[in-house]
């Protein structure tokens, strides 16, 4: 069979990204224009500014992705784009551009679910990984524990009841003065701190053993900071970061391994921005090793939003003939398709 080259476009949040991937597994280019600097001064992503930045960046980013792959537009087999979930303005930029591109070049269009993209990031770095496997997706907007039954077929076992794991990182980082984006900053600060210095709660959701909740932990950190301030005690930022991170990682690994034991899984993967966290990677790897489970994680650059993961997920949709019409629209609260 001829090689399949998918152009993947991602604009759901604050990264304008495009990539070319061969046969769903081999990255030929992966261009990421991050808007983090722009949003840092506001302490978080401002949707309207993000949309405008995507409009400015999408054309040069896609051109660069095609050029770095040493390809011409006509060599591309299909155009895959994230159409949800995410911020509606940013999503619309990518979707509109991808539709125009596909129409103009006479190429098929593929709509990709953002979480499906995060899961597929694992296929790029682990060529031997094939479903079935279990995957924990932890990002700024999502915390999902999923059984990947096949390409494009998912069973959601658990999800967050309130804040996503990355959202908790970002909010706590802001509270302790580390700024945006919180995840990488807490990760770094925690290396200098004692994870047992402060006993923050490990939340478990009653009746749903695989669900997550992080808002109580966030409140516990805020209460701790307030009480230190009232007592005039100095706050050790590194200890707060390390203790908060230990609580997040404990719950993520605890619920994941409970599910892995119950379902008897042989392969476990992590995905999403928080999957680049050094403590989570280490704890998950150790827990899997203890159980003889094969552990997979994408390299850090493929954990956060990128076009290659969208191209990889798009490849498997393309192979199934799941093509989108030119009526494709942005769906900010899109559910994971194929989930039961
Ligand atoms: O997947 P992603 O790029 O975007 C979404 O789909 O949300 O994830 C971004 C999230 C942010 O909340 C960021 O703080 C978090 O991932 N993150 C991290 C780390 N790097 C990024 N969280 C913890 N540790 C990290 N090293
Ligand atoms: Zn993401």
pLDDT digits (tens, 9 = 90+) for 42-79: 888 899 999 999 999 999 999 999 999 999 999 999 99
Establish whether residue 183 lines the binding site of ligand 1, counting it when its CB lies within 6 angstroms of any ligand atom: yes
Ligand 1 atom showing the smallest separation from residue 272 Cα: 1
User: Is the four-CA dihedral 155, 158, 164, 165 of positive or negative sign?
Assistant: negative
Establish whether residue 184 lines the binding site of ligand 1, counting it when its CB lies within 6 angstroms of any ligand atom: yes
Provide the residues around ligand 2 (an ion) whose CB is within 5 A: 139, 305
What is the 233 CA–ligand 1 centroid distance (Å)?
31
Residue 133 predicted with pLDDT over 70: yes
How confident is the model at residue 274, as a pLDDT? 98
Establish whether residue 307 lines the binding site of ligand 1, counting it when its CB lies within 6 angstroms of any ligand atom: no
Entry pTM: 0.96
How confident is the model at residue 339, as a pLDDT? 52
Strand order in the sheet with 26-34: 26-34, 15-22, 5-10, 78-84, 109-113
Residue bearing the CA closest to ligand 1, atom 3: 304
Which of 90, 304, 310, 333 to mutate for ligand 1's pocket (most ligand atoms within 8 Å of CB)? 304
If 0-12 CB within 10 Å is exposed, 13-18 middle and 19+ buried, where does residue 254 land? middle
Does residue 337 contact residue 61 with C-beta atoms inside 8 Å? no
pLDDT digits (tens, 9 = 90+) for 158-183: 999 999 999 999 999 999 999 888 99
Ligand 1 atom showing the smallest separation from residue 142 Cα: 7
Contacts for 135 with CB less than 8 Å, ≥ 6 apart = 119, 122, 145, 146, 148, 268, 269, 270, 271
The domains found in the chain, sorted by start residue, are 5-120+302-319 (3.30.420.40), 131-298 (3.30.420.40)
């Amino acid at each position: 069979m001829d090689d399949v080259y998918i152009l993947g476009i991602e604009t759901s949040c604050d990264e304008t990204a495009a990539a070319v991937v061969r046969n769903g597994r081999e990255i030929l280019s992966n261009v990421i224009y991050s808007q983090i600097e722009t949003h840092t001064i506001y302490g978080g992503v401002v949707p309207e500014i993000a949309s405008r930045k995507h409009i400015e960046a999408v054309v040069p980013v896609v051109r660069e992705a095609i050029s770095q792959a040493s390809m011409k537009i006509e060599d591309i087999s299909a155009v895959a784009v994230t159409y949800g979930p995410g911020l509606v303005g940013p999503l619309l930029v990518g979707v509109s551009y991808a539709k125009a591109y596909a129409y103009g070049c006479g190429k098929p269009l593929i709509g990709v679910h953002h979480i499906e993209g995060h899961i597929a990031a694992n296929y790029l770095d682990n060529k031997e990984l094939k479903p079935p496997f279990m995957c924990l997706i932890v990002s700024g907007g999502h915390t999902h524990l999923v059984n990947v039954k096949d390409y494009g077929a998912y069973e959601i076992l658990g999800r967050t009841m309130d804040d996503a794991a990355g959202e908790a990182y970002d909010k706590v980082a802001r509270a302790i003065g580390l700024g945006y984006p919180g995840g990488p900053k807490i990760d770094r600060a925690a290396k200098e701190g004692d994870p047992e210095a402060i006993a923050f709660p490990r939340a478990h959701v009653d009746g749903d053993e695989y669900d997550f909740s992080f808002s109580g932990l966030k409140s516990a950190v805020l209460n701790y900071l307030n009480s230190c301030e009232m007592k005039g005690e100095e706050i050790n930022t590194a200890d707060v970061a390390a203790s908060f991170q230990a609580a997040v990682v404990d719950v993520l690994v605890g619920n994941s391994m409970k599910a892995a034991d119950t379902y008897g899984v042989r392969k476990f993967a992590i995905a999403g921005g928080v999957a680049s966290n050094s403590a989570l990677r280490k704890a998950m790897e150790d827990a899997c090793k203890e159980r003889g489970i094969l552990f997979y994680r994408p390299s850090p650059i493929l954990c956060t939003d990128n076009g290659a993961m969208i191209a990889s997920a798009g490849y498997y949709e393309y192979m199934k003939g799941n093509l989108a019409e030119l009526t494709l629209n942005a769906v900010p609260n899109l559910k994971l398709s194929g989930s039961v």
